[in-house]
């Protein structure tokens, strides 16, 4: 049976065939190729970084790429996950709440992704059960193979068809050997068989230990991890070895020898100063060319496009971390113990740093113990303050003290989502003379809740899926700081994840006292950007959105650019220039 015949046959689900693999409309067998990235030894090694870097190299050559992350957990999305355990929740433009790896893909590929680029076991099983209830399995007993694996393959092929991808990059969550990811591995093995030779390649990301007591690199754990992959019928084509230091030639040889993967495809993915250096390191090692050869893609490559893209990217990487100038931004956040919870903020700082020629440092602050007495001391040495997104009452009073300090002392301020709401509360309390102003999120009985639950969300109960999520249009008021930052654009698109908003009843009072709402929903009274006039404060801006999520290496977030430029002025002591008046403070 030829591969075409096989693919036609497995599209059916009858008594005559053991296969169950529905084919989506528009699927072009043989056209779509797959790179499947799996982890061995341990998780958290940077499968997403490897996968997105390789995808970027292919994209730079003019190929259409589509990444997908497949999570082993049974949650439908990442919305209810604790950032302490999983890192930040990354929201996509269509409102899907995903793992932070999707942020890495969006940043490296400069591409907006959607729910099609993210799946969980929860989603897969929900769909299998829906089909069972609706009789789609034609009376057969529903099994892991072929139905669950069939559903997984369908997701991959749907993405390929929808995105018209030359190459789909599949990142399998967790580590080979995890029970919860085994269906994904089996589905990928089947996919490789069905699509035929030269269509699917497997990359094993592994870890080479270097115990301090021994002072040498040991490859045994890596070898055993890859053996585990072979046990489920998958032979890797590329091995990427994570390690602190470059992998020694001898160690690479050993791994190559024990895994049947030629030396030229055993790649040392040691620690580098920035993840943005990895694509170039892979290119230098020739991994991209190996992929093109194995997937027979050389004919689809456009050299001219690659030259232009490489030049742009090199400009960016040449400017990362090269500056002697430095600014320090205070970030107040509950999850200060875990940097992953604020990954996108760190990245946005890195992007702007390259464009502005400055090294952006962060000072992480837990605001639980901050008060009016110690706030100046705690913020000393910081040229800018960010109050990031967050939930719950803990530390909110300390945040308000930080915002007041920033406002009164002309320290550049950027409020992100919760930081926007806290800025409204601070202004209402200390400028508008409403001392009990608060948010219903923190004080249900408060009489002056300037931050209220959204009208449209009030009826929805429960924790999952009741937020205002995803990309939304924002109308920008001409002549404002926000307009200047966005080159006088009248309408922009920002990404949201919130439940509460400014209560419209208080807008006139806030505006009369000098607060400017420079970004609003086009039709509803939802306030999305606030600022202080430029003759009152050099940079005081808050947004109900999460601009950190849409900052990209070559298109950094204008709000962060504004904050960091203002922080650089603050270093030079020029921040008070042009300040003529103070808002009247009660
Ligand atoms: N807790 C606030 C809300 O739900 C802010 C959310 C956030 O910062 N992402 O509106």
Domains of the chain: 3-316 (3.40.50.300), 326-450+505-520+528-577 (3.40.50.880)
- Take atom 1 of ligand 1 and give the residue whose Cα is closest: 391
Separation of CA 468 and ligand 1 centre (Å): 10
For the CA atoms of 465, 471, 477, 480, the dihedral, rounded to the nearest 10 degrees, stands at: 100
**Which among 209, 269, 200 has a CA at the least distance from the CA of 235?**
200
- Token pair 């809740």 is found at 449
Atom of ligand 1 nearest to the CA of 392: 1
Separation of CA 520 and ligand 1 centre (Å): 17
Query: How far apart are alpha carbons 419 and 409 in whole angstroms?
Result: 18
Q: CB 324: neighbour CB atoms within 10 A?
A: 7
Query: How far apart are alpha carbons 356 and 321 in whole angstroms?
Result: 11
Identify whether the C-beta of residue 357 lies closer than 8 Å to the C-beta of residue 562.
no
Q: Which of 32, 186, 548, 575 is catalytic?
A: 548
Atom of ligand 1 nearest to the CA of 501: 10
Q: CB 182: neighbour CB atoms within 10 A?
A: 16
Separation of CA 68 and ligand 1 centre (Å): 27
- Residue 218 pairs in a beta bridge with 209
Atom of ligand 1 nearest to the CA of 417: 8
Residues of the chain with pLDDT under 70: 1, 6-18, 334-338, 456-465, 574-586
Residues lining ligand 1, judged by CB closer than 6 Å?
389-391, 417-418, 441, 497-500
Atom of ligand 1 nearest to the CA of 546: 9
Give the chain's count of helices (H) and strands (E). Answer: 19, 21
Q: CB 304: neighbour CB atoms within 10 A?
A: 8
Q: Which of 188, 241, 352, 417 is catalytic?
A: 417
Query: How far apart are alpha carbons 76 and 69 in whole angstroms?
Result: 13
Query: How far apart are alpha carbons 283 and 318 in whole angstroms?
Result: 16
> Catalytic: 58?
no
Identify whether the C-beta of residue 113 lies closer than 8 Å to the C-beta of residue 163.
no
Atom of ligand 1 nearest to the CA of 500: 10
Q: Which of 498, 537, 546, 575 is catalytic?
A: 546
Separation of CA 390 and ligand 1 centre (Å): 6
- Token pair 């601070």 is found at 426
Separation of CA 157 and ligand 1 centre (Å): 36
Pocket probe for ligand 1: among 421, 450, 458, the residue whose CB has the most ligand atoms within 8 Å is 421
pLDDT confidence of residue 20: 72
- Take atom 7 of ligand 1 and give the residue whose Cα is closest: 389
pLDDT confidence of residue 112: 97
Separation of CA 424 and ligand 1 centre (Å): 13
What DSSP designation does 323 have?
Answer: -
pTM of the model: 0.92
Pocket probe for ligand 1: among 418, 453, 454, 456, the residue whose CB has the most ligand atoms within 8 Å is 418
Separation of CA 83 and ligand 1 centre (Å): 14
Pocket probe for ligand 1: among 423, 454, 497, the residue whose CB has the most ligand atoms within 8 Å is 497
pLDDT confidence of residue 208: 93
Query: How are the residues of the chain apportioned to helix, strand and coil, as percentages rounded to the nearest 5?
Result: 40, 20, 40
Separation of CA 416 and ligand 1 centre (Å): 9
> Catalytic: 352?
no
Phi then psi for residue 324, to 5 deg, are -85, -20
pLDDT confidence of residue 454: 73
- Take atom 6 of ligand 1 and give the residue whose Cα is closest: 498
- Take atom 9 of ligand 1 and give the residue whose Cα is closest: 389
Atom of ligand 1 nearest to the CA of 389: 8
pLDDT confidence of residue 84: 73
| 3-state SS class at 304 | helix
- Take atom 5 of ligand 1 and give the residue whose Cα is closest: 418
> Catalytic: 432?
no
pLDDT confidence of residue 14: 52
Atom of ligand 1 nearest to the CA of 454: 10
Separation of CA 253 and ligand 1 centre (Å): 51
């Amino acid at each position: 049976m030829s591969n075409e015949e096989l693919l036609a046959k497995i599209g059916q689900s009858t008594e005559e065939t053991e296969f169950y693999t529905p084919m989506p409309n528009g699927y072009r067998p043989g056209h779509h190729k797959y790179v499947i990235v799996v982890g061995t030894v341990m998780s958290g090694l940077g499968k997403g970084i490897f996968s997105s870097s390789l995808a970027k190299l292919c994209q730079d050559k003019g190929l259409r790429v589509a990444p997908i992350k497949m999570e082993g957990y049974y949650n439908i999305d990442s919305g209810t996950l604790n950032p302490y355990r999983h890192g930040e929740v990354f929201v996509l433009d269509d409102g899907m709440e995903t793992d932070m790896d999707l942020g890495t893909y969006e940043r490296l590929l400069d591409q907006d992704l959607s729910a099609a680029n993210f799946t969980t076991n929860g989603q897969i099983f929900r769909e299998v059960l829906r089909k069972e209830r609706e009789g789609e399995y034609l009376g057969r007993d529903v099994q892991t193979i072929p139905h669950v694996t069939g559903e997984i393959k369908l997701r991959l092929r749907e993405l390929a068809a929808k995105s018209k991808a030359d190459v789909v990059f599949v990142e399998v969550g967790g580590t080979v050997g995890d029970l919860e990811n085994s269906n994904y591995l089996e589905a990928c093995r089947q996919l490789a068989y069905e699509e035929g030779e030269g269509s699917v390649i497997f990359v094993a990301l592994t870890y080479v230990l270097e115990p301090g007591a021994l002072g040498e690199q040991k490859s045994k754990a890596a070898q055993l991890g890859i053996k585990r992959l072979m046990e489920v019928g998958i032979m890797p084509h590329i091995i990427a070895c994570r390690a602190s230091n470059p992998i020694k030639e001898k160690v690479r040889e050993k791994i190559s020898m024990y895994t049947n993967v030629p030396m030229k495809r055993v790649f040392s993915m040691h620690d580098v100063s920035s993840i943005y250096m990895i694509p170039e390191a892979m290119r230098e090692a020739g991994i991209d060319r190996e992929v093109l050869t194995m997937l027979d893609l050389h004919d689809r490559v456009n050299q001219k496009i690659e030259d232009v893209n490489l030049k742009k990217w090199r400009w960016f990487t040449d400017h990362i971390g090269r500056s002697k100038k430095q600014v320090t931004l205070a970030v107040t956040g509950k999850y200060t113990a875990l940097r992953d919870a604020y990954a996108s903020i760190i990245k946005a700082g890195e992007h702007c740093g390259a464009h502005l020629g400055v090294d952006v440092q962060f000072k992480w602050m837990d605001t639980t113990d901050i008060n009016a007495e110690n706030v100046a001391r705690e913020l000393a040495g910081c040229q800018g303050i960010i109050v990031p997104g967050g939930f719950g009452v803990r530390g909110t009073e300390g945040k308000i003290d930080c915002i007041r300090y920033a406002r009164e002392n002309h320290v550049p301020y950027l409020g992100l989502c919760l930081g926007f709401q806290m800025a409204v509360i601070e202004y209402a309390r200390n400028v508008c003379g409403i001392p009990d102003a608060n948010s219903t999120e923190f004080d249900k009985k408060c009489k002056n809740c300037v931050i209220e639950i959204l009208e449209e969300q009030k009826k929805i109960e429960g924790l999952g899926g009741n937020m205002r999520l995803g990309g939304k249009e924002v109308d920008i008021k001409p002549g404002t700081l926000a307009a200047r930052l966005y080159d006088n654009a009248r309408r922009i698109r920002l990404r949201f994840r919130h439940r509460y908003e400014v209560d419209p009843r208080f807008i006139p009072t806030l505006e009369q006292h000098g607060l400017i709402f420079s970004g609003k929903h086009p039709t509803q009274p939802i306030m999305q950007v606030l600022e202080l006039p430029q003759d009152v404060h050099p940079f005081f801006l808050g947004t109900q959105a999460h601009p950190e999520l849409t900052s990209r290496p070559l298109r950094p977030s204008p709000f962060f650019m504004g904050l960091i430029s203002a922080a650089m002025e603050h270093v030079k002591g020029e921040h008070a220039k042009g300040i003529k008046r103070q808002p009247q403070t009660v």
